[in-house]
Amino acid sequence: MLFNSYIFIFCFLPICIVGYFLLNKTGNYRLGHGFLLGMSLWFYGYFNPSYLLIIVSSIIINYLIYKWMKTLQHKTLLEAATENPELDILPVSSVGRLKSSKPVMIFGVIVNLGIIFYFKYMDFFIENVNAIAKTDWPLMHIMLPLGISFFTFQQISFIVDTYRGEVPDYGFLTYACYVTFFPQLIAGPIVTHDELIPQLRDSNKKKINWDNMAKGFYMFAMGLGKKVLLADVFGVAVSWGFEDVPSLKATNAILVLLAYCFQLYFDFSGYCDMAIGLGQMLNIDLPVNFDSPYKSLTITEFWNRWHMTLSRFFTRYVYIPLGGNRKGNVRTYFNLFIVFLLSGFWHGAAWTFVLWSVLNGIFVIITRMFRKQFEGMHPALGWMITQGFFNLTLVFFRANTISDAIEFIKQILYVDFTNIDVHILYAFQTPALKYFLDGTPVTHSLPFIYVGLYYFLALFIVLGSRNSHELMAAFKPNLKNMLWTAVLIVASVMSLSGISTFLYFNF
């Protein structure tokens, strides 16, 4: 199910909010958890019920692994207490790292990675084996379940944290709610157990909080507006441009590239806003996952602001275990490269994603090697280098093949400037703008004014305004914010005729 759909806004969300708080009002919070689990599974399996078998199986397998590890840890704790009766308690952190649970932890991680590999990378693996070994293995054409990378990484973090002795005893219902919590289920943020489960169990969060409800609708409206009124509009031009790369020429190639930069930004930022807003409606605080990355002055700062919970995952469970920055510069650069390489594979089973991530990883390493020089740059120059580099590498992120990406860049480098193509002109002639501007002398003689207005508005929002979590921190439930929320929701709902998925659903 999509946040930007009629059934979600007018059916799913009201039922979820009313049912959840009514059941919690009985004082039996297990009913509320069961209802939330059922709604989350409905949300996940709406497009394809067969997805439910995958996620339910994954939850059961990981919970059994978790209980297996806890049993071993408790057994070891009991043996230690018997052998050392003078000790009142053995530190939980030491129990988690005992060798008895390490093989189980490794087994759990391998199982989860195996699930991702089968559904996401099997055909990619077969294609490359066929290309290298000149074999003719048939592709399996496995359907990629929505959000499998997100909920699997979330469970990997849970398994590793259990081994580290950082996870208390949780019941199955609580764990299942943690994994399937619908606002963050299929596109993040990747939430750790200590961020979400204590909130799900907090009795103070079981009643409607009208301030949180107002804040939640405000954030949801902001995200919905970003997705429907901005990202989807830019997406029309992007889809045309990347399907017909050889005919672009420099003018249209640059406009399409910038359109994709804005589409990706507002699409992902919009989803993050809506997820946080939905969490607020249910009195759940989700972590910030997007922090105005296009304001960054260095590529390192950029990646600290973009998909923040994914960066946190790789830092905690890959970069630091590899040694982090504790074993010299060469080892640090190697660790950074591995993180970016894995990030590329995480985003998709294609060499375009890998090349995109490798290029960004190399630039991060160069920035670290010449830190003094980059820090000594004028901020404007640093911003232009950072954003110019990232935007150009996005060609590989979006293109269907590496050859298409190279051809796209060639179109820019040829510096063959022409008129704006009619496909781009039409993409930005939205009903709202045409209602106010169509037929005026300006738009009649200068039809590209529609394009200019959208690009200017997007640039202003990206660079000249406060981001969503800053607005949420200063939010007050007053008439002004109520009207702005209503306007955004109404305008977005009226534009839902062309419902589109979020870009990160594909990852």
Catalytic residue IDs: 347
Strand pairing partners for 306? 290
Alpha-carbon Rg for the chain, nearest whole angstrom, is 25
Q: How many CA atoms lie within 13 A of 489 on its CB side?
A: 17
Residues with Cβ within 8 Å of residue 80, at least 6 apart in sequence: 87, 90, 95
For residue 374, give the nearest of 361, 360, 385, 359 by alpha carbon. Answer: 385
Residues 6+ apart with CB under 8 A from 471: 222
| Amino acid identity at 62 | N
3-state secondary structure of 463: helix
* Tokens describing residue 420: 């704006």
Strand locations in 124-190, DSSP E?
none
CA distances from 154 to 196, 291, 353, 501 (A): 11, 21, 22, 22
Tokens of 239: 């889809």
Report the alpha-carbon distance of residue 490 to residue 193 in Å, rounded: 36
CA 403, CA 244: separation in Å to the nearest integer?
A: 13
